[in-house]
Amino acid sequence: MKVGFIGAGSMGSGMARNLIKAGHSVTVYNRTKSRAEALKEFGAQVAETPADAAKNAEALITMLADDTAVEGVILGPGDVIHSLPSGSVQISMSTISVDLSRRLLVAHNQAGQHYIAAPVFGRPDAAAAGKLFIVAGGESGQINRCKPLFDAMGQKTFEVGDVPASNVVKIAGNFLITTVIEGLAESFTLARKAGVDPRTFLDVMIGSLFDAPVYRNYGALIASAKFDPPGFKLKLGLKDNRLALALADEVTAPLPTANLIHDRFVTGMAQGLENSDWAAIAKISYQAAGL
């Protein structure tokens, strides 16, 4: 397939490479051009503008930092929506708000284009290895059409319903991951203060009821208390926490733990941890306990 790919950050670079490896023709745009050019040696073409990346694409993938970036590229001045061929499909793979995803659906449909939302679970290493988990929402026909792309980038694709459903799952899922981080942070704080090595505690938990990647990965990270270099930056974690809180506000759902974790992230920002891994909110728990 002819694929336009916008956003060659730590996630997007790996994803684009895996598309190329699978035989697709990929044109990459990235604001900082050097990151797109680094993909040339793998066979990517480099676009000068987002519109360039879109103009001949059958499928256009966006993998950008936040709502503002996605909205700017798709709906902003010199926008993609006027360059993308009729009948093509935009695949929004970033973690964006339900509200923006709904508006993108309307805009693309009005332009005679298709839109599916397909955010992913997994960190940069999973993106590089083609091991992402992809959560796809939108018309079944379009999801099937994009299946070869998903298979190149991920180990599994979940089809969850219409467009905003996949965004809801992604937002609620990232929130669930933060409850794991906070749960580990507090239980490790308790264990450490009570004289038990968090690794000992973690071994028991993983060896019994908690044998899942999310506990193995974050457990090791938080037990070691090494939060740099980051897999996923704290400031982006705050962004996703805000998406959960904004959605909760919109649908009138009180989320006390999400609020508590919001304070952890804000405290982290105030303590200069914005570029550490988002698991560094555990540091705040440790410090409050005098560890």
How many whole angstroms separate alpha carbon 34 and alpha carbon 51?
18
Strand-pairing partners, residue 46, are 28
Of the listed pieces 6-14, 42-50, 57-65, 202-210, which binds a second copy according to CB under 8 A?
Answer: 202-210
Scan residues 112-141 and list those touching a second copy (CB under 8 A): 121-122, 133, 135
Q: How far is the CB of 166 from a second copy (least distance, A)?
A: 9
Of the listed pieces 37-45, 66-74, 161-169, 220-228, which binds a second copy according to CB under 8 A?
Answer: 161-169
* Alpha-carbon dihedral angle through residues 242, 245, 251, 253, given to the nearest 10 degrees: 170
Among 48, 129, 144, 270, binds a second copy (CB under 8 A): 270
Q: How far is the CB of 159 from a second copy (least distance, A)?
A: 10
Pick 48 or 263: Cβ nearer a second copy: 263
Q: How far is the CB of 98 from a second copy (least distance, A)?
A: 7
Which residues, at least 6 apart from 25, have a Cβ–Cβ distance to it below 8 Å? 1, 2, 3, 45
CA pseudo-torsion sign 234, 93, 98, 255: negative
Main-chain dihedrals φ then ψ at residue 250, nearest 5 degrees: -65, -40
Scan residues 205-244 and list those touching a second copy (CB under 8 A): 205, 207-215, 242, 244
DSSP letter at 135?
A: E
Q: How far is the CB of 187 from a second copy (least distance, A)?
A: 4
CA pseudo-torsion sign 14, 152, 24, 7: negative
Q: How far is the CB of 281 from a second copy (least distance, A)?
A: 11
How far out from the chain centre does Cα 198 lie?
A: 28
> By rule CB under 8 A, what count of residues binds a second copy?
76
How many whole angstroms separate alpha carbon 143 and alpha carbon 91?
9
Pull the structure tokens for residue 9: 């950050």
48 touches a second copy by CB under 8 A: no
How many whole angstroms separate alpha carbon 18 and alpha carbon 28?
13
Which residues, at least 6 apart from 219, have a Cβ–Cβ distance to it below 8 Å? 184, 202, 205, 206, 210
Binding-residue pattern over the window 88 to 107 for a second copy, x denoting contact by CB under 8 A: ----------x---------
Pull the structure tokens for residue 153: 């980038």
Among 107, 158, 220, 275, binds a second copy (CB under 8 A): 158
Pull the structure tokens for residue 127: 């993106």
171 touches a second copy by CB under 8 A: yes
Among 23, 140, 176, 226, binds a second copy (CB under 8 A): 176
Among residues 55, 170, 233, 239, the one annotated as catalytic is: 170
The question of whether 283 is a catalytic residue gets the answer no
Pick 106 or 176: Cβ nearer a second copy: 176
Catalytic residues: 170
